[in-house]
A and B are shown apart, each in its own frame.
Chain A
Amino acid sequence: EIVMTQSPATLSVSPGERATLSCRASQSVSINLDWYQKKPGQAPRLLIYGASTRATGIPARFSGSGSGTEFTLTISSLQSEDFAVYYCQQYNNWPPTFGGGTKVEIK
C-alpha cells in the first residue's frame, strides 16, 4: 500500500501568518490527493480534492498544489478556527491511505 508521510508533525504559527504543510507519497499518486481538517471531537472536514480543488464552502485562504509524490497545503493567513490537525489522503491506489497528520498550533 502507498505510504503517505506528512511534515512537519507540528507547525507553530501566529494568527495571520502563512502556513505551509507538506505531504509525500511513497510512489506516484498523480493528482489523486485530498486534504482534510480535523478538530478534537468533531468530524473531519474535506478541504481539497484532486490535489488543488477546494471543496464546497472552503475559504479561498486554503490552497493545494502538487502532483506525483509531493504535495502542499497552504493556508495563506491563519484564522483562529484553522488551528487543527490536517491530514492528506491518496486515492490513486487501493486501499486509500492517510498521512499521519500535521498539527497546526498557535505560536
Chain B
Amino acid sequence: EVQLVESGGGLVQPGGSLRLSCAASGFTFSSYWMHWVRQAPGKGLVWVSRITSDGSSTSYADSVKGRFTISRDNAKNTLYLQMNSLRAEDTAVYYCARDLMGYTGSDTFDYWGQGTLVTVSS
C-alpha cells in the first residue's frame, strides 16, 4: 500500500524557516517524481514544487522561487521541502504527492499524504 506521511509543520514567525519531510513507503520511491502542493485555509489547491526521480532537476512556483528548496533522499525514501523567509501568505496545509508517471513525470498526482499545517504568524 502506497503511504506518504508528512511532518515538520508548525507555527513560525514571518521571516523564519521550516523544513517539511515526507516519508514514503509501499512503492519504489526512487522511481517517481515527487511534488509538494499546498492549500491555504478556505482556499483551493496550489502546486508548489516538484523534483525528478533522481533529484537532478527541480521546479518551483513563482511565489516560492528563491525561498523554498525541494530535495530528496532516495536511500531514506524521504522527500523534503526547506522553506525560508516565510510569509503570512505561506500559511497552508502542505501535501506531498506522487507523480502518476514515475520516471517520465506528468504533473498528475496519484497519491497524496494527509498534509502538515504550516502557520506563519507573529
Question: Which residues in A have some Cβ–Cβ distance to B below 8 Å?
Answer: 34, 36, 38, 42-46, 49, 55-56, 87, 89, 91, 94-101
Contact yes or no, B107 A100, CB < 8 A: no
- Whether, in the assembled complex, B25 has its beta carbon less than 8 Å from a beta carbon of chain A, the answer is no
A66 → chain B closest CB, angstroms: 16
Write the chain B residue with the least CB distance to A49: B108
B116 → chain A closest CB, angstroms: 12
Contact yes or no, B59 A94, CB < 8 A: yes
Given contacts A43-B113, A44-B112, contact A96 B95 (CB under 8 A): no
A93 → chain B closest CB, angstroms: 10
List the A side residues contacting B107 at CB < 8 Å: 91, 94, 96
In the complex, which of the residues B44, B61, B62 contacts A101, with contact meaning CB atoms closer than 8 Å?
B44
Contact yes or no, A38 B61, CB < 8 A: no
- Whether, in the assembled complex, B106 has its beta carbon less than 8 Å from a beta carbon of chain A, the answer is yes
Given contacts A91-B106, A95-B61, contact A44 B95 (CB under 8 A): yes
Given contacts A46-B109, A49-B108, A91-B107, contact A98 B95 (CB under 8 A): no
- Whether, in the assembled complex, B114 has its beta carbon less than 8 Å from a beta carbon of chain A, the answer is yes
Contact yes or no, A89 B114, CB < 8 A: no
Q: Interface residue count for B (Cβ, 8 Å)?
A: 21
Contact yes or no, B45 A91, CB < 8 A: no
Contacts A/B (CB < 8 Å), 5 sampled: A46-B100, A89-B45, A95-B59, A96-B47, A97-B47
Contact yes or no, A46 B108, CB < 8 A: yes
| In the bound complex, CA of A38 to CA of B111 (Å) | 13
A25 → chain B closest CB, angstroms: 14
| In the bound complex, CA of A55 to CA of B108 (Å) | 11
| Given A94-B107, A101-B44, 5 more pairs with CB closer than 8 A | A44-B109, A46-B111, A87-B45, A89-B108, A98-B47
Given contacts A95-B47, A99-B44, contact A49 B95 (CB under 8 A): no
| In the bound complex, CA of A14 to CA of B1 (Å) | 34
A84 → chain B closest CB, angstroms: 13
Write the chain A residue with the least CB distance to B114: A43
Given contacts A94-B59, A95-B61, A96-B107, contact A43 B47 (CB under 8 A): no
A80 → chain B closest CB, angstroms: 22
